[in-house]
Amino acid sequence: NAGVTQTPKFQVLKTGQSMTLQCAQDMNHEYMSWYRQDPGMGLRLIHYSVGAGITDQGEVPNGYNVSRSTTEDFPLRLLSAAPSQTSVYFCASSYSPVNTEAFFGQGTRLTVV
């Protein structure tokens, strides 16, 4: 029962470096999303996808890119990391955006120095 798998769990980047946070789910969910969690801010939606080939921006999309080439995978790319992107990132998936709870990954703790 893998559910939603995020890699890596921890990452330290230097300002300006790029990296991809991986997210994979094995539940055949159409809807996937990325959130970031900052102290005292709760979780905020970065990007989401309602199915393969379809993505859209959430509340805080700047500095991040996503793609959805398969139902299973939804990677989040940081093209040029900034200290403001230091956060914990969660990937989530669900059967549809409507009427279902989201299954969350374990989170990726990213530090940009």
Partner 1 sequence: AQKVTQAQTEISVVEKEDVTLDCVYETRDTTYYLFWYKQPPSGELVFLIRRNSFDEQNEISGRYSWNFQKSTSSFNFTITASQVVDSAVYFCALYRGGADGLTFGKGTHLIIQP
Contact status: 35 vs partner 1 (CB under 8 A): yes
Contact status: 45 vs partner 1 (CB under 8 A): yes
* Stretch of 16-24, 29-37, 61-69, 70-78 contacting partner 1, by CB under 8 A: 29-37
Give the separation between CA 99 and CA 113, rounded to whole angstroms: 40
For the chain, the helix, strand and coil percentages under 3-state DSSP, each to the nearest 5: 5, 50, 45
Q: Which is nearer to partner 1, 27 or 50 (CB)?
A: 50
* Stretch of 14-22, 35-43, 61-69, 76-84 contacting partner 1, by CB under 8 A: 35-43
How far is CA 3 from its chain centroid?
A: 15
Terminus-to-terminus CA distance in the chain, angstroms? 35
Residue in 12, 41, 82, 113 binding partner 1, rule: CB under 8 A: 41
Residue 73 one-letter amino acid: D
Contact status: 42 vs partner 1 (CB under 8 A): yes
Beta bridge partner(s), residue 85: none
* Stretch of 16-24, 32-40, 62-70, 73-81 contacting partner 1, by CB under 8 A: 32-40
CB burial of residue 1 (10 Å; 0-12, 13-18, 19+): exposed
Name the residues that contact partner 1, by CB under 8 A.
31, 33, 35, 40-45, 48, 50, 56, 58, 88, 90, 97-104, 106-107, 109
